[in-house]
Amino acid sequence: MIELKNVVKIFGRRVAVDYLTLTVPRGVIYGLLGHNGAGKSTAIGMMLGQVWPTQGGVRVGGYEVTSHRRLALQKVGAIFEAPVFYDYLSGWRNLEILSQYSGPTAPARLREVIDWVGLTGREKSPVRTYSHGMRTRLALAQALLPNPELLILDEPGDGLDPEGIHELRLTILRLNRELGLTILLSSHLLNEVEQLCTRIAMLNQGRRVFEGPLAGIRTERRWLRLRAGDFAVAVRQLLAAGLIIADRDGVWIEPAPDTGADRIVRFLVEQGMAVFEIAPEEQTLESFYLSLMKDSRQKSPQF
Amino acid sequence: MLFLQLRNELRKLFGKPRTYIGFGALLLIQVLMVLLLRYSPASRGMVRQMESNGYDAGQYLTSLTIAGVMLHPIAFILLPLYVTLIGGDLVAKEAEDGTLRMILSRPISRFRLLLVKWLAGAVFSALLVLMLGLVGVLFARCFFPWGGMFVFVPGEMFSVLDASAGLWDYAGAHVLLAVKAGTILSLAFMFSCFNVKPAAATILALSVVFVSFVLMQIPFLKELQPWFFTYYLDLWRNALMQPVPWWKVNESLCVLAGCNLTFFIIGATVFHVRDIKS
C-alpha cells in the first residue's frame, strides 16, 4: 500500500530522512515509531506529497507520489501533524470544505461519518466550541470522508486524556476490522502501538533501525529470569557447560542457541542446586524500543 | 468541482471577521468624507474651481462629483492596504495556522488550490470595489443633489459630464479600479505563496507598490515611468477623462494582465517546490 525506497530528505544541512526503505502491506495496522526529530513526520509528509524527497521514490496505492500525487492520494485519508480547522465555521462546514477538495460529497455521507465518529448533535456548532477530543474525532471524520482504503494518522492520540486515547484505540481497531482499512500510525505512545499494531518500523535519526511484525520483537532476545540458590555459582557452572552465553543484573541469563529452559533446569538440579524460578523475559515494546535506541546511540558517533 | 471549491473558498474568506475590516473601514471613511465635505468649508474650494471655469456650482456640486472626489485618496492608499491585507493572508495564513496541511492531505493539486484561492481573492477585490462605488454615490446622494459630474485634478484631468454620462464613467472607473485592486491582490498573493508570515506578505506587497510609486515621482526617473507596474495601476482614472483614452486603457489592461499572470506563475512555482511542514 505504501512503499518508500531509499528515500532521503535533507533540510538545509540536516538529514531528516536517511535512505529509508519501508513497505506497508495492505490490511495491516502499521506503527511508525521514533523519538522527536527521528523523521516520522517527514516520512509521512513525503507519503502525502507535502514534503518533496531529495532522493528516492515514494509510492502510495501503486502511484508515485511526486509525479501522480492526485492519483496516489485518491483513496487516502490522513491526519498529518496536529489537526487544525477553521474555528469560526461549524464542524459540518469544515468537513464539507475539506472533503470537497477530494470530490463532491453527498450530505448523507457527511451525516454517516459524523455519526460514525460520534459527533452527531454537535456538527452545526462552531469548531471553536469543541473540546480537544471532539476535534480529534472531527479530524478522523475528515480523514474517513473520501472512503479511504489507507488511513495515515500522525500522532493521533496527542493531547488526549486516557479515556480519549482508549476511545481512539477502539475506533482504529474498528476501522481496521470492520472497514478493512490499512492504517499507518505514528505515535510516541508505545503502549498504544503495542495494543494496536501488527507491524512496526522504528526510526532513529532518519534511519530505519527496526522493521518487522510486532510479535517478532518478543523473540528477538531470549533472556531468562533465573532464581536459584546461588545465582553467581549457577551462572559460572552454566557458562562452563556452554548452556548460557551471558548474564546480567544478578537475575537474567541468556541461553546459548538451541538451549531451552528445560535443559538449564535439569543441569542445575543435577548439580545439586536449588532452582526456585525460571521464566522467559517478557519483553515489552518499550524495553525493546529503549534497548534498540541505546544500541543505535552507541553505534552512532554523532549522537 | 471548481465552482464547489471556489464557493468553499469564499465561505472561508467571508466567514472570517478580518475580511470585513476593509469593507467597514471604507464605509466609515466615505461617511466621514461626505460629512466633512457637506458641513465644513472644504467644498468652497470646489465651488470656486467650478465657478472660475464658468460652471454653475449648483449644477455640478453633486453626489457624483463628491463620490468622484472621494475616490482618489481611497484608491491610492486605502484600497491597496485592504486588498494586500487579504491577499497576504490567502495562502500564508493557512500555512501558519496549519489548515494548509489538512487541505494538502487531499488529492488536490497545488496549482488548482492556488487557482481557487486567487479566484476567491479576485471576487473579494471586485466586491470591495463594488461596495466602494455604491456606498460612495449613495451616501453622497443623502447630502448632495443628483446632477452632472465635475472632475478636476490640477494638471492631469478636467472633465465636465452630465448626470447620465457621469454615472457611466463613474461605473467604468470602478470596473477598472477592480482591475487595479485585483493586480495588487495578486502581488500580495504571490508573496503569500512564499514561506513567509501573512503580515510579511502584506508588508512586502505594500512596499513594492509604494516604493514603485515613490520612484515614479522622482523627476529624473520620469522617462522610466512606463517600466513601473504602478504606472498602469491608475488606469481607472482614464475612465473619468473626456474623451476616454481607450488606447491607454487597453495598454494598461494588457500590462496588468501580464503582471497578474507573472505574479501567479512566480507564486505557484515557489509554492510548488515548497515543503509544507510545521
Question: Residues B100-154: pLDDT tens digits?
Answer: 999 999 999 999 999 999 999 999 999 999 999 999 999 999 999 998 898 887 7
pLDDT of residue A303: 40
Q: Evaluate whether B67 touches B240 at the Cβ level (below 8 Å).
A: no
Conformational region of residue A160, where left means phi above 0, alpha means psi within -120 to 50, and beta covers everything else:
beta
pLDDT in the model for residue A116: 86
Closest partner residue to A50 (CB to CB) among B16, B17, B104 is B104
Grid cell 500555512 is found at B95
pLDDT of residue A218: 64
The nearest CA of chain B is from the CA of A85 a distance in Å of: 6
With beta carbons under 8 A apart, name residues in chain A contacting B15.
Answer: 86, 88-89, 93
How many residues comprise chain A?
A: 303
| Chain A CA closest to residue B273 | A52
Record: contact B11-A69, CB cut-off 8 A:
no
Q: Which fold has domain A2-213?
A: Rossmann fold (3.40.50)
pLDDT computed for residue A161 by the predictor = 79
B36-94 tens-digit pLDDT: 988 888 778 888 888 888 877 778 889 999 999 999 999 998 999 999 999 999 999 99
Dihedral sign, Cα of residue A292, residue A293, residue A296, residue A298: negative
Provide the pLDDT for residue B48: 82
Mean pLDDT across B235-255 = 91
SS3 B72: helix
Q: How many domains does chain B have?
A: 1
**Is residue B278 assigned to a domain?**
no
Residues of B in contact with A101 (CB under 8 A): 5, 103, 106-108, 113
Domain ranges of chain A: 2-213, 224-280
CA-closest candidate to residue B243, choices B186, B180, B168: B168
Given a contact cutoff of 8 angstroms between Cβ atoms, the answer to whether A153 and A142 are in contact is no
pLDDT in tens, chain A (303 residues): 899 999 999 998 899 999 999 999 999 999 998 888 888 999 999 999 999 999 999 999 999 999 999 999 999 999 988 889 999 999 999 999 999 988 888 999 999 999 988 889 999 999 999 988 889 889 989 999 988 999 999 988 777 778 888 888 888 898 899 888 999 999 877 888 888 898 999 998 888 888 888 877 766 567 888 998 889 999 999 999 999 988 888 888 989 888 888 999 999 999 998 899 998 877 777 777 887 777 776 666 544
Question: Beta strand pairing status for A182-186 and A199-204?
Answer: unpaired
The ipTM of this complex is 0.85
DSSP H helices, chain A, are 40-47, 69-72, 91-99, 107-116, 132-144, 162-178, 190-196, 214-217, 231-240, 261-270, 285-299
B91: distance to nearest CA of chain A, Å?
A: 14
CA-CA distances (angstroms) from residue B85 to A34, A207, B16, B82, B230? 41, 43, 13, 5, 18
- Does B11 contact A98 at a Cβ distance shorter than 8 Å? no
Residue of A nearest to B7 (CA): A97
Reported pTM? 0.85
Torsion of CA B119, B120, B126, B130, to 10 degrees: 150
Q: Taking a C-beta distance cutoff of 8 angstroms, is the pair B233, B187 a contact?
A: no
Instruction: Enter the C-alpha cell of residue A171.
Output: 475506533
A–B: how many Cβ contacts below 8 A?
92
Closest CA to B237 of B167, B183, B175: B175
- Residue with C-alpha cell 506587497? B205
CB A145 within 8 A of CB A95: yes
Amino acid A162: pLDDT: 82
Give the domain range for residue B220: 2-273
- Three-state secondary structure readout of B234-265: HHHHHHHCCCCCHHHHHHHHHHHHHHHHHHHH
Expressed in percent and rounded to 5, the helix, strand and coil fractions of chain A are 35, 30, 35
> Each residue of B181-201: pLDDT tens digit?
999 999 999 999 999 999 999
Q: Which of B15, B106, B277 sits opposite A101 (nearest CB)?
A: B106
pLDDT at B46: 80
Q: B113: which chain A residues are within 8 Å (Cβ-Cβ)?
A: 101
Distance, in Å, from the CA atom of B233 to the CA atom of B77, rounded to the nearest integer, reads: 12
By the 8 A CB rule, do B41 and B147 touch? no
**Contact (CB<8Å) A78/B12:** no
Query: Residue A302: what pLDDT?
Result: 47
